[in-house]
Structure 1
Amino acid sequence: MSQTSPPAGRPGRYNRSFSGLIVSMVVLILAVLGFVLVRDLARSDPDMPVAEVDYVEAVRAGQDSGFPVVYPPTLPDGWVATSARFPLGPNPEWTLGILVDGDDFVGVKVVRGDSGAVLDRVLGDPYEVDGGIDVPNDDPLLSGDWSAASEGQDEALYTQVEVPVPTAAGEDGETADPGAAPQTDTAVVVVYGTIGEDRLVDFATTLTSEALPAR
């Protein structure tokens, strides 16, 4: 039986299929390698430097205004202050944000208003009030009764304090009654974060409202 050879210049069917298989395998391998490379790049988090702020200057600005700012004299190792805000205006509010060991956070607020509204802001709604808790702080502003609340992994300790009410000035820039007794209003001091209740209590005991020394 005679065999028919393929026309000159035209590869046989078997050779063409084998070459196509090799090319397909190479393309598949390259695609898999590309996918792995992109996945690893997406998973890797670049080391971003944490911007540390000088919260002492913000404390000084708050104290200069007469508002009782609560702050830690120092921070433990691994704790970095990343934000400190005291916006001026008729409703001042002190906020300090701290990054803990690169993963967790702690915040401190002093804000006029009721505790429910403040907890809505720092914990979200719904949150659970866990009842009273012992926070042994000798600072006169912080020595009152404290309570605890939580929402998931976020926990908060809070106490109510008295703060001065800014006196409105008249058209001539003078207060209406300079000899009147200063008025006070209720504010909430809240310490919140993701480090657990015990560590929050330890941190809250270090807070102070003591006036910073003059420059």
Structure 2
Amino acid sequence: MPMSSTGSSRGNPAMGDILRSVAVLGLIVLALWAFGKILFTNDTAKTIDPIDYAKVVEQARPVASFPLLAPTSLPRGWEARTARFDPEAWHLGVFTDSGDYIGLEQIKVSADRAVDRFAEGSKPAGKAEVDGQEWSVRSGPKGRWIYVRAEDGVTTLVNSSASRKVVERYISSLSTS
């Protein structure tokens, strides 16, 4: 079959054809990536609505088998986002006004087991006295601070992305009443 005078490239594509094809495929891949990023990105801090943790605390304290700690109030702009209770454990998750997370855990296990469960990868970083109580301090991945205290078979662990000063102020706000 003779070639036409237009220079058909059926067997050997011209460089321009190859570049156009690569550009079209690149745009399709970029569009799929952007769609997936939008569809599958999960920003927990923005998707979980604030909760009234005081109601959970009010219901949990009478049935708790240990003195349940909770902040007497949260500073302006802070929001409680998660609260879970069972007779052996208590969790309260809070976001500060600057977007840092503070997680309070009280659980009836040893301090070592609580650290293994809630502060994996952390390393000892000394001690701190907060409101007359001694806490073990640990530094964790991504600049996290973990404060741990065990008493009467219950371990209290505070795990946070906030500064030590903010964490200690939060710990000072905790009360059993």
TM-score category (smaller protein): 0.7 to 0.9
Aligned to 1:148: 137
Aligned to 1:40: 34
Query: Would you tell me which structure has more strand in proportion to its own residues?
Result: 2
Counterpart CA distance in 1 for 2:42 and 2:158 is 30
Identity %: 20
Bigger shift: residues 36-45 or 190-199: 36-45
Secondary structure class of the residue paired with 1:145: strand
- Alpha-carbon distance change, 192 to 21 in structure 1, aligned in 2, over 3 angstroms: closer
2:153 is the counterpart of 1:190: no
Q: Note if contact 1:85-1:96 (Cα within 8 Å) is conserved in structure 2.
A: yes
Shift of 1:204: 1.0
Aligned to 1:117: 113
- Alpha-carbon distance change, 159 to 46 in structure 1, aligned in 2, over 3 angstroms: closer
TM-score, L = length of structure 2? 0.75
1:51-88: CA deviations, max 9, x gaps? 33322222112211253111112333453322211113
Aligned to 1:201: 168
Counterpart CA distance in 1 for 2:24 and 2:126 is 60
- Alpha-carbon distance change, 108 to 19 in structure 1, aligned in 2, over 3 angstroms: closer
Counterpart CA distance in 2 for 1:117 and 1:84 is 21
2:80 is the counterpart of 1:81: yes
Secondary structure class of the residue paired with 1:16: coil
1:166-209: CA deviations, max 9, x gaps? xxxxxxxxxxxxxxxxxxxx322221122232221121111111
1:105 to 76, 101, 106: 101
- Alpha-carbon distance change, 85 to 24 in structure 1, aligned in 2, over 3 angstroms: same
Counterpart CA distance in 2 for 1:144 and 1:107 is 19
Q: Which runs of 5+ in 2 are unaligned?
A: none
Computing the radius of gyration from Cα coordinates, the structure with the larger value is: 1
- Alpha-carbon distance change, 156 to 15 in structure 1, aligned in 2, over 3 angstroms: same
Secondary structure class of the residue paired with 1:40: helix
- Alpha-carbon distance change, 24 to 111 in structure 1, aligned in 2, over 3 angstroms: closer
Shift of 1:148: 1.0
- The number of residue pairs the alignment matches comes to 169
Secondary structure class of the residue paired with 2:8: helix
Counterpart CA distance in 1 for 2:135 and 2:22 is 63
Counterpart CA distance in 2 for 1:110 and 1:76 is 21
> Aligned-pair RMSD on alpha carbons?
3.0
Letter in 2 for 1:54: D
Secondary structure class of the residue paired with 2:30: helix
